[in-house]
Amino acid sequence: MRSSTLLAIPLLWLTGCVTAGDCNALALARYDRALEQRLADELDAAPPAALWPRIVTDYAGLRDQVRACQGTTGQGTTPAAR
């Protein structure tokens, strides 16, 4: 239960504190390509029934939406949906 609560916190930050159309208030953490590759490898290796890859993929999608709203592009790749 605690893990799911901790995973939900970034999602709430992205959705709860910004007024419609104000994307500049959102600051995304930057991840280097090595970390993104490690995450992609871990997502690929996760057991099929694991729930955390879905949450990570949802978070990556939200990051993509923030970048689109800000008119910027990502530093690296977003893990593909499972």
Query: What are the sequence ranges of the domains in the chain?
Result: 2-70
Average pLDDT over residues 10-36: 74
38 near 24, Cβ under 8 Å?
no
pTM, whole model, 2 decimals? 0.58
CA gap 59, 57 in Å, rounded: 5
Q: For 28-71, write each residue's pLDDT tens digit.
A: 899 999 999 999 999 999 999 999 999 999 999 999 999 898 88
Average pLDDT over residues 16-23: 61
CA gap 59, 53 in Å, rounded: 10
Give the model's pLDDT for residue 80. Answer: 46
